[in-house]
Amino acid sequence: MTARPISGLLGAAVVAAWASLTAASSPPSATAAPCSDVDVVFARGTTEPPGVGGVGQSFVDSLRSRVGRRTVSVYPVNYPATNNFRSSIAAGANDASAHVQSIAANCPNTRVVLGGYSQGAAVVDVITTQMPPGVANHVAAVAVFGNPSASGTFARTMAAGALPTIGPLYAAKTIDMCMPGDPICTRGVSMAPHGQYIQSGMTNQAATFAAGRL
């Protein structure tokens, strides 16, 4: 089990390609619910039903057990999570970005935790490169699992390496979990490791990291 270090910025051409798929910025919307101490924004993996997905729920449950009496709200990113990766990721990035900016504007004392699994991790990558710089101060931690990587089998065979990475303002507060042999984030050949983030204890490891930054 390894936690991969975050790499640097994408090349300018790749950034431009992904930027064209997402809104430049979304105006914050009103937040009706009371402000929580912690808001977890999690994007599920490809073809998972709406919600935070299995990995997301495991991460949220583990985080809640580590934050004492602090209140934790959860926002499942509202996006298709389909195999039409570029349009799906763009939709997720727009939705997640709008929510995080709304929290930053309307609940300035709330600490945001960003998370994503598989395609959802790519959603997180995109928003960390495109949200206004000041929003980063409201994000305590980022946790991604099975994050599509330019060095992984998926990127080399299906995405031609043109994938986003975590933005520099968020790199130091990010834990990037990659199961050995997972072809989405490393040069594996079997999809089995991609489904083992809960059993491996990596969701607990990431929750411990996030809780330590709140």
Across 180-202, average pLDDT: 90
Q: Which of 58-72, 138-152, 172-186 has the least mean pLDDT?
A: 138-152
Has residue 67 been placed in a domain? Answer: yes
Catalytic residue among 39, 99, 138, 194: 194
pLDDT of 30 over the 70 cut: no
Q: b or e along 21-50 (b: 16 or more beta carbons within 10 Å of the residue's beta carbon)?
A: ebeeebebeebeeeebbbbbbbbbbbebee
Catalytic residue among 39, 95, 176, 182: 182
pLDDT of 195 over the 60 cut: yes
Helices (H), 46-178: 53-64, 85-106, 119-130, 153-154
Total domain count for the chain? 1
Catalytic residue among 118, 125, 138, 149: 118
The closest alpha carbon to 93, from 124, 116, 115, belongs to 124
Has residue 1 been placed in a domain? Answer: no
159: pLDDT confidence band, cut at 50, 70 and 90?
A: low
Is 36 marked active-site? no
Other C-beta atoms lying within 10 Å of the C-beta of residue 180: 12
Q: Which tokens hold the place of 101?
A: 């900016």
- pTM (two decimals): 0.85
Is 182 marked active-site? yes
29: pLDDT confidence band, cut at 50, 70 and 90?
A: very low
Alpha-carbon span 108 to 113, nearest angstrom: 14
Has residue 25 been placed in a domain? Answer: no
pLDDT of 28 over the 50 cut: no
Q: Which of 9-18, 75-84, 173-182 has the least mean pLDDT?
A: 9-18
Residue 168: domain span = 42-211
pLDDT of 44 over the 80 cut: yes
Is 118 marked active-site? yes
CATH number at residue 174: 3.40.50.1820
- Supply φ then ψ for residue 72, to 5 degrees: -125, 120
